[in-house]
Chain A
Amino acid sequence: MDIVIYGTVNSVIFALIAVGFTLVYGVSRIPNFAHGSIYVLVGFLTWSFVNDLKINYALAILISLTIAAGLGFIIYRLILIRLRGMATSEIIASFAVSLIILEGLRMQGIAGFKGFIGPFYVLQPFIEGKLIIFGVFVDYQRLIIIGGGFAVVTFLWFFTHHTKMGLSLRAIAQDERAAMMLGVNSDKTAMISLSIGSALAGLAAVIILPLGSVTVEAGYKVLIYALAVCIIGGLGSWAGAVLASFVIGFAMKISTALFGAVWESVVLVGTIIFILLFRPSGLLGKQKELEERV
C-alpha cells in the first residue's frame, strides 16, 4: 500500500515537472533547457517574497508565476527567436540561459538575496498535517500534489482542445505551414507556449517544493527528470508523458523499497536505456517518428 500511494505521488510529481517541457517541445519544437532553472527561480522568488518582502503566500505565488511566464516570453523574444529551427543552437542557448539563472542564484549577496546556502530555504506547506489512508501516513501537501497534478493535466487538456488559443497551439504542433496559412502566427504561439510552459514549471515548483528545500541542484535534477519523462514517453506526446511519469515514478519507488534510495537514479538510467533500445521513439512517440529518429 505504501508503494502504491507514494508511487502515485512520485509519478504525479514527475508528470507535473514534465508537462511544461513537453508542452513547449510539442508546440514549438524548442527543447527548453531552461525549464529546471525556472522551477528553482520560482521557488526562490516565492521564498524571498514571503520572507523578505512579507507578502501574502498566495499573492507571492501568483507574482512569481507571472514573473516565470514573463521570463519564458522574454527568453523566446530576445534569444530563441533568432535561433529558430537550428536545433543545436536552440539547445545550447537555452541551456546557457538555464546555467545563467542557476549559477547566478548561487552567488551570494546580490540584490539583497542571501544566496543559496543549505536547507535554509524552505517553503511552508499549504496545509500542515497528515492523514491516514489505508494505514499509511500521507501529509496534506502530497494530496495537494496529486490533486494539483490531475487539475493541471485536465486543465491543459481542456485548454488545448476547447479554446481558440489552445487549438492554435495544436495546429502549429501538427503542421506549422498549414497553420500559418490559416492565420496562426507561429512566433506568437511559440512565445505563448514558452510562457505557459515556464508558468507550469513554476506551478510545479510551488506545489512540490514545500516537500523539501529550495536548492540550486534541484534545477539540474528537475531538468533531468523532465527530459527522462519526455524521452521515455516520446517527446511531444501528452499521453506518453503522463504514462512515462507513472512508469518512472513507480519504478523508482519500487526499486527504493527493494534496494535502497541510492539506486533511484541508477534505475532511472536503466529505464531510459532499456526503452531506447527497444522503442527508440519512446512509449507513445509517433509524431514525425521517421524524420526525428532513425
Chain B
Amino acid sequence: MVGEEKRKKRLDRSIKVRTEGLYALSSWGEMAYLIMPRLVLILGLLVLPLILDMYWQRVLCSAGIYALLALGFDFLAEYVGLVCLGGAFFIGAGGYISGLLNAYLGWSPLLSIPIATIAGAVISTLVLLPCLRLRGIYFAIVSFMFPLFSVYIIIALNVFGSTEGISALANLPNIWVEQYLILGAVILSLFALRRLVIEDIGVIFQSIKDNDQAVNASGINITAYKAKAVFIASLIGCFGGAYLSHLYGWLGLSLFAMDFSILPIAASVMGGMGSLVGPVLGAFILTPLSEALRGFGQLRVVLYCLILIGFMVYKPEGLMNYLERKYHQFEHWEKV
C-alpha cells in the first residue's frame, strides 16, 4: 500500500433538491436560494451605469454588445451544434443596415435599429442557409469566411462608403438610454434564451446537436430548425451591430473586424460554454480588461487568445459552471 487512495465526492445540497426538484417552496431561505443568483445578476447589471464614470459607461455599452454576441455564439454552439466563428458578420449586417437607413433615408435610430435587427437577421440567415447542411468544422470554416469576404465585396463594389465608411450617423438620445437599452437587451435575451432552450423547440435544437440523423429520421426538417436557430442568434447579434453603429455614430469595414468574432468566443470559453450566463459574465470581464490594455494595441488579441487557450486546456468547464457547481453541491474527500 502506497498511501491512501482518495477521491472527491460531490453531493447536491439538500436545498437544491428541495427547491428545484419539487417546487414546493416553504421558506424564505428556499426562495432566496432560487432567486438570489438571478437577482444579483440583474440588479448588478442595472446598478453598474449608476456607479461608473463617463468613460467606463461607454465601455459598459461595448461590453454589452460583446455579451450579446457571446450569448448568440454559446446558444448556437452548445444548444444547436453550429460553431459559428463569424460573429462579426452579424454585427456587420445589423450595423450596415441600420447605419445606411439612418444616413440615406434619415430614419431615427429608434426606428432604424429594430428594422435593422430584423432585416439583418433575415439576411444573415439567408446567407448562411446554403451552409446549414454542413456541420461541425465545415460550418465553422464557412461561417469564418463570411465576414472577411463581406469586407472584400464591399471594397470590390465600392458601395456603402467603401473603405472610409460613413460617419456622422445619429446618436441615441443620451448616455442613459444607450446604457439601459443594451443592458435591457442583454438581460432580455439571456432569460429568453434560457427559457427557449427548455421549451419544445429547444429540445429539438439539442437533439440536432446530439444526433441529427435521428432527428431527421423522426421526420423533422433539421435544416429548417437550424435556420430558425441561426435566425434567433443573428437577431441578437444584429441588434448589437445596429446599436453599435449608432453608439459610435459611424459605420465602416471595422464592423466586420476579427474582434467581434474572437472576443465573444473567448468570453464564452472563459465564462463556461453551455451555461448562457457564463458568456455574458465573460464578456463583462474581458471587455473592460481589453479596454484597460488598450495601450498595448494588437497585443490585446494575443492576450484574449492566451486566456482562451489557458481556459480551454486547463479549465475547460469555465467560470460559471464552476461557480454553479460550488453553489449547488458540496464536495469532500473520501477514502476509496
- Residues of B near A224 (CB, < 8 A) are 145, 148
A123 to chain B minimum Cβ distance, whole angstroms, is: 23
Of B138, B265, B299, the residue contacting A293 (CB under 8 A) is B138
Known: A83-B313, A87-B83. A103 touches B137 (CB 8 A): no
Cβ contact within 8 Å between B145 and A269: yes
State the main secondary structure of chain B at its contact with A: helix
Asked if residues A265 and B152 are in contact (CB atoms below 8 Å), the reply is yes
A266–B136 CB distance below 8 A:
no
1/0 per residue, CB under 8 A from A, across B195-227: the answer is 000000000000000001100100000100000
Q: Does A268 contact B (CB under 8 A)?
A: yes
Q: Let me know if B135 and A292 touch, CB within 8 A.
A: yes
Report B284 CB to chain A, min CB distance, Å. Answer: 20
**Is the pair A79, B309 in contact by a Cβ cutoff of 8 Å?**
yes
Query: Whose C-beta in chain B lies nearest to the C-beta of A228?
Result: B145
Task: Choose, from A40-48, A92-100, A131-139, A174-182, the stretch at the interface.
Answer: A92-100
Considering only CB atoms and an 8 Å cut-off, how many residues of chain B contact the other chain?
A: 44
Interface residue B293 (Cβ < 8 Å from any Cβ of A): no
A147 at the interface (CB under 8 A from B): no
Cβ-defined contact, A99 with B258, below 8 A: yes
A158: Cβ under 8 A from any B Cβ: no
A220-B148, A269-B153, A293-B135 as given contacts; A99 in contact with B302, CB under 8 Å: yes
Q: Are the C-beta atoms of A104 and B302 separated by less than 8 Å?
A: yes
B135 touching A100, Cβ below 8 Å: no
Residue of A nearest to B127 (CB): A273
A88 touches B (CB below 8 Å):
yes
A-contact bits for B281-314, CB 8 A (1 contact / 0 none): 0000000000000000111011011101100110
Contact of A103 among B130, B302, B308 (CB under 8 A): B302
Find out whether the CB atom of B222 lies under 8 angstroms from the CB atom of A294: yes
Question: Does A31 contact B141, Cβ atoms closer than 8 Å?
Answer: yes
Q: Is B190 an interface residue (CB 8 A)?
A: no
Which chain B positions have C-beta within 8 A of A269?
Answer: 145, 149, 153
Identify B136's interface contact among A78, A83, A87, CB under 8 A.
A87
CA distance A293 to B313 in the complex (A): 28
Q: Is A61 an interface residue (CB 8 A)?
A: no
A293 CB contacts on chain B under 8 angstroms: 133-135, 138
Residue of B nearest to A104 (CB): B302
Contact A87 B137 (CB under 8 A): yes
Chain A residue with Cβ nearest B152:
A265
Residues of B within 8 A of A89 (CB): 312, 316
Cβ-neighbour of A92 out of B222, B302, B308 (below 8 A): B308
B156 beta carbon closer than 8 Å to chain A: yes
Confirm or deny: B60 has a beta carbon within 8 angstroms of a beta carbon on chain A: no
Smallest CB–CB gap between B183 and chain A, Å? 27
* A276 and B155 within 8 A (CB): no
Nearest chain B residue, comparing its CB with the CB of A269: B149
Whether A294 contacts B309 by the Cβ 8 Å rule is no
CB contact between A231 and one of B77, B138, B312, B313 (< 8 Å): that residue: B138
A294 touches B212 (CB 8 A): yes
Is B85's beta carbon under 8 Å from chain A?
yes
Contact A96 B308 (CB under 8 A): yes
Q: Is the CB of B312 within 8 A of A100?
A: no
Please, how many angstroms separate the alpha-carbon atoms of A228 and B144 in the complex?
11
Note all chain A residues with C-beta closer than 8 A to B306. 96, 100
Q: How far is the CB of B63 from the nearest CB of chain A, in Å?
A: 20
Q: Which residues of A contact B85 (CB under 8 A)?
A: 91-92, 95
User: Could you tell me the distance in whole angstroms from the C-beta of B214 to the nearest C-beta in chain A?
Assistant: 11
Q: Are B222 and A99 in contact (CB under 8 A)?
A: no
CB-nearest residue of chain B to A261:
B156
| In-complex Cβ contact of A277 among B130, B135, B141, B155 (8 A) | B130
Contact, CB under 8 Å: A276 / B298: no
Q: B135, B142, B144, B262: which contacts A294 (Cβ < 8 A)?
A: B135
A224 to B137, CA, bound (A): 14
- The answer to whether the Cβ of A188 comes within 8 Å of any Cβ in the partner chain is no
| Complex contact B142–A272 (CB within 8 A) | yes
Distance of A97 Cα from B138 Cα, bound (Å): 19
Name the B residues within 8 Å of A196 (CB-CB).
none
Would you list which residues of chain B between 76 and 131 have a CB under 8 Å from chain A? Answer: 77, 83, 85, 130-131
**Cβ-based interface call for B269 (8 A):** yes
Q: Does A263 contact B (CB under 8 A)?
A: yes
**Nearest-CB distance from B54 to chain A (Å)?**
29
Write out, one digit per residue, whether chain A residues 198-237 have a CB within 8 A of any chain B CB (1) or not (0). Answer: 0000000000000000000000100010011011000100
Cβ–Cβ < 8 Å partners of A70 in chain B: none
Q: Does A125 contact B (CB under 8 A)?
A: no
Q: Any chain B CB within 8 A of the CB of A130?
A: no
Beyond known contacts A31-B137, A231-B142: 10 more, CB 8 A cutoff: A78-B313, A87-B140, A99-B258, A103-B299, A106-B297, A227-B145, A228-B145, A231-B141, A266-B153, A266-B156
29 A–B contacts, CB within 8 A, in A order: A78-B313, A79-B312, A82-B313, A83-B313, A88-B77, A88-B140, A89-B316, A91-B137, A92-B269, A92-B308, A93-B313, A96-B308, A99-B301, A106-B297, A107-B297, A107-B298, A107-B299, A107-B302, A224-B148, A262-B152, A264-B152, A265-B153, A266-B149, A266-B152, A268-B149, A273-B130, A276-B130, A276-B134, A277-B130
The 4 A-B pairs with the shortest beta carbon distances in the complex, nearest first, are: A265-B152, A262-B156, A96-B305, A103-B301
